[in-house]
Amino acid sequence: MHPPVYLVFTTCGTREDAERLGQRLVSERLAACATLIPGAISFYTWKNEPRRDEEVVILLKTSAPALAALEERLIELHSYEVPEFVAVPAARVAEAYGRWVAQAVEPPVQPA
């Protein structure tokens, strides 16, 4: 049995920023996978001003034990002053996929 899997959503203003962030979080073993979804349009209020921006959504897959570290690092690396970090527990995950996510975010074993 694998630990719970979480889907984490964030956005970036450019594809380059999204690729840099996604690759970094995967290489640091905080996310098993980062899927970029370009073409999002966001409407929001920032500093009392209405905004409309094109963004790239990043969907990160991680395990419950890695979630807090992923949040901390994402906020540290992100170019936004207040980055989106929304974590949603997966209601159902195929057993093999859940094991893969857990293994992908485990710290690498150091040789003795």
What whole-number percentage of the chain has pLDDT above 90?
A: 91
What is the structure's pLDDT at 111? 53
pLDDT over threshold 80, residue 109: no
Rounded to an integer, what distance in angstroms lies between the CA atom of residue 9 and that of residue 31?
Answer: 12
Q: What is the mean pLDDT of the chain?
A: 94
Distance, CA of 26 to CA of 54 (rounded, Å): 24
Flag whether pLDDT at 30 surpasses 70.
Answer: yes
Number of alpha carbons in the 13 Å side-chain half-sphere of residue 22:
22
pLDDT category at 106 given cuts 50, 70, 90 is confident
